[in-house]
Amino acid sequence: SIRSARRPAAGGPARAGVERGLWHRPALLNLISDLLTLGAAVALGWALVIWFVSRPLFPLRELVVLTEPGQVTAEQLDYAARLAVQGNFFTVDLEDVKQTFEKLPWVRKAEVRRRWPDALELRLEEHEAVAYWTVSESGEARLVNRQGEVFVAASNADMPQFDGPQGSASWLLARHAEFSSMLQPLGVRLVGLALSAREAWQLQLDNGMTIVLGREQDKSPLMDRLRRFIAVWPRVHEQIDIDIKTADLRYASGFALTPADASVLQQPVAPAARKGRK
């Protein structure tokens, strides 16, 4: 075998590697240049859009209330608008404006839309209070709307008083309608309804009488006990002719009455005959 003793020229392979590098590939360089130019153009265009819409060229000048407010005052609407409406026609945050109006005491829901070219449309749904509410655990005063939701507001309307555990307002509202319908034959109005933590019911009537229903019983359902009392009460009240403070209906076969003057109900007893000779 014959082997050559000559060494390769210095820098030969290295020079070939350099010639195959990035700077010797014009097509790839042109592609990268085009991508960089496109990215810079998009960024510049977006910056111009942001700058344009943030200029005071589209100011909001008017808030149009589409629903006639009942409980919400003009001062409250003005305060909420000044607090929430930030930016111009394009940059205003409608969700933030909506949430701000829904924090007003009597507002249940709010809907906000843009009206070209310089206004916002506001549609309000107000709470319709149907009862006062007291949370049993804390004693805090609230109101109950027609949907059975508890909200914070002030009112002096003539409404029934509900007392119960937190989260039971809708249940009390439904039961109030049932009890009120049942009590109509007595000519009284249900002005108070209470539910204890052990689910015991108590009714307050407008004539001052309290009906203690207690808890649901398997052998003597709550509604059956109330129906029985309503059926016999007119005749019983006519016979005793005493103002009753409390009617306790927790018994399976009857009810107990507590007079308003704390006297004891007793049947009249004939005097005993005298013994002795005439």
Higher pLDDT, 24 or 185: 185
**Least confident residue range of 16-20, 116-120, 238-242:** 16-20
Helix axes 222-240, 169-183, angle to 10 degrees: 40
Q: What span, in angstroms and rounded, lies between the C-alpha atoms of 175 and 201?
A: 10
Confidence at residue 274, expressed as pLDDT on a 0 to 100 scale: 42
Q: CB count, 10 Å around CB of 193?
A: 21
Closest CA to 254 of 223, 220, 277: 220
Closest CA to 179 of 113, 236, 131, 118: 131
Closest CA to 132 of 121, 143, 147: 143
Same fold, 62-126 and 129-264: no
Residue 243, pLDDT > 60, answer yes
CATH fold of 129-264, please? Answer: Rossmann fold (3.40.50)
Higher pLDDT, 267 or 56: 56
Q: What span, in angstroms and rounded, lies between the C-alpha atoms of 169 and 144?
A: 7
Confidence at residue 273, expressed as pLDDT on a 0 to 100 scale: 41
Q: What span, in angstroms and rounded, lies between the C-alpha atoms of 145 and 76?
A: 20
The domains of the chain are located at 62-126, 129-264
CATH fold of 62-126, please? Answer: Ubiquitin-like (UB roll) (3.10.20)
Confidence at residue 36, expressed as pLDDT on a 0 to 100 scale: 85
Mean pLDDT for the chain overall:
85
Closest CA to 249 of 209, 278, 277, 276: 209
User: pLDDT for 1-52, tens place per residue?
Assistant: 344 455 555 555 555 444 566 677 777 777 788 788 888 888 887 877 776 6
